[in-house]
Structure 1
Amino acid sequence: MTQAASGGRPTNAGRGLFITLEGGDGAGKTTQAALLEAWLTDAGRTVVRTREPGGTDVGVLVRDIVLHHRGEIAPRAEALLYAADRAHHVETVVRPALERGDVVIQDRYLDSSVAYQGAGRVLGSAEVRDLSLWATGGLLPDVTVLLDVDQSVARGRLDADDKPFDRLESEQSAFHERVRSEFLALAAAEPDRFLVLDAARPIDDLAAAVRDRVSGALDA
């Protein structure tokens, strides 16, 4: 892809780009996704901003089950629900957008399942990853931004939101520590795909680092 001469901003030329944001609850993914979307849109790119679960009508139903269902959900059933949503989402939203040449900015993807269900629920990271790869036909992001955050910082941010915790947010600290460790392990295993950032840094500094990485990916 090419970039505009002014400010290193991307042009519309070339294929689409698949960007995912990952990290624990309270890491600031939504904020960074919005800032990146605004920057790319201002630069003339067509952006599809979405999330998992919840990026389709089917996904909204799955999201309500896995995050807000009052009763118990067996861990394997939870993993399969996420995979089913992912299969439908990729087929109906993500792949068509990439084929059009759009930039897809997505809040959570398969790395979240590996971290939350594979490590957090102790189902096995390799097994959960293989399930998601099968569900998506092997689609991996071009860039994955991991916003790494300490549990005490994340919990403080969630408390400040003054909203009821969902099923995953309500888990004990040991669960979230396993999730964080797995995210970092995934990033270490695929350094070319991941950009790891300390989520405690100022919002504007984080946004600048994300823009720099995305610019490089668009220019590749």
Structure 2
Amino acid sequence: MSDRTSPESDRRSAQSSPRAGLFVVLEGGEGAGKTTQLSRLDQWLQQSGRSVVRTREPGGTQIGERIRTLVLDHGQGEVDPRTEALLMAAARAAHVEQRIRPALAQGAVVLCDRYIDSSLAYQGAGRGLGVEPVAQVNHWATDGLSPDLTVVLDVIPELSRQRRSDRDGGSAGDRIESAEDSFHATLRQAFLDRAAQAPERYLVLDASAPVEQIQQLIRDRVAAELGDHQ
């Protein structure tokens, strides 16, 4: 049986559907600095005259935001790993169909906070469901749409915990943020493993580096990607 969910097969499936825009995803553990980097990248691209659509997962659509609440908020009752993975995939299916593909077809640069790699890390590795079954579900949910570039902000669990505590005033955070350091260590390794499988499509950066240094490296890579897509 062929591996339909490998990085290379994802790329071939995505390329089979023509698109004019550029799809950039930022990934990484909690407190990696994705929001800060996305904000700065969004502003830079717009100042350069680019049409930009900035979005997030889970979320990005009305139904996606409802699912986000179900998955992340405390007080929703028990959410077992399989249900969590399927909810994430459902939100992603709506996101791709309703927002990402239309934006790409119009030539926009789509900047997304998390995508499939987060499900592979959080539910596949972190929750112990296995990367392969989670990849298969998400390949189907997105009809094979892969990012042109995935930036992984690599953050160690200790720094992740410190940043989350500073940001949230010492509160535990949502259901996923409040997990033990061992869970976040598993996530970190899963992101690194994923990037190692397709280094031409990933940019891994040290999240502890200065914000401006990280941003410049991201801009340099995005500029190169935009040049390739002219």
Q: 1:42 aligns with which of 38, 47, 58?
A: 47
For these two proteins, the number of residue pairs brought into alignment is 207
Report % sequence identity: 54
For 1:29, the equivalent position in structure 2 comes to 34
Deviation at 1:124, TM superposition (A): 0.3
Question: Which of 198, 218, 228 matches 1:210?
Answer: 218
- Paired residue type of 2:87: L
Q: For 1:51, which of 28, 48, 56 is the aligned residue?
A: 56
Which digits, 9 at most, give the CA deviation of each residue in 1:176-219, with x for residues without a partner? Answer: 11111100000000101110000000000000000000011011
Q: Offset of 1:69 from its aligned partner?
A: 3.9
Superposed displacement of residue 41, structure 1: 0.1
The AA in structure 2 aligned to 1:205 is Q
Pick aligned residue for 1:115 from 121, 124, 147 = 121
Q: CA offsets, 1:10-68, max 9 Å, x none?
A: xxxx9200000000000000000000000000000000000001211111110100000
Q: Which runs of 5+ in 1 are unaligned?
A: 1-13
Q: By how many angstroms is 1:127 displaced? A: 1.0
Residue 3 of structure 2 aligns with which residue? none
Matched, 1:63 2:68: yes
Equivalent residue in structure 2 for 1:174, among 179, 182, 188: 182
CA distance in 1, matches of 2:209, 2:109: 25
Tell me the residue number matched to 1:157: 163
Distance in 1 separating the partners of 2:168 and 2:88: 26
The residue matched to 1:192 in structure 2 has which SS? helix
Q: Does 2:91 align with 1:85?
A: yes
SS in 1 for 2:124: helix
CA distance in 1 between counterparts of 2:146 and 2:203 reads 14
Q: Which residue of 2 aligns with 1:191?
A: 199
CA–CA distance in structure 2, aligned partners of residues 19 and 76 of structure 1: 27
Q: Give 4+ residue runs of structure 1 displaced > 3 Å after superposition.
A: none
Unaligned runs of 5+ residues in structure 2 are 1-18
Once residues 187 and 155 of structure 2 are traced to their aligned partners in structure 1, the CA distance between those partners, rounded to angstroms, is 11
Return the offset for 1:139: 0.2
Q: Partners in 2 of 1:69 and 1:129 — Cα distance? A: 26
Tell me if 1:136 matches 2:142: yes
In the other structure, the counterpart of 1:9 is: none
Please give the alpha-carbon distance, in whole angstroms, between the structure 2 residues aligned to 1:101 and 1:156: 39
Give the letter aligned to residue 202 of structure 1. Answer: P
| Letter aligned with residue 219 of structure 1 | G
Q: Confirm or deny that 1:15 pairs with 2:20.
A: yes
**Displacement after TM superposition at 1:146 (Å):** 0.1
Letter in 2 for 1:216: A
Shift of 1:161: 0.9
TM-score, with length taken from structure 1: 0.92
Distance in 2, matches of 1:162 and 1:96, equals: 35
Which range moves more in the overlay, 99-108 or 70-79? 70-79
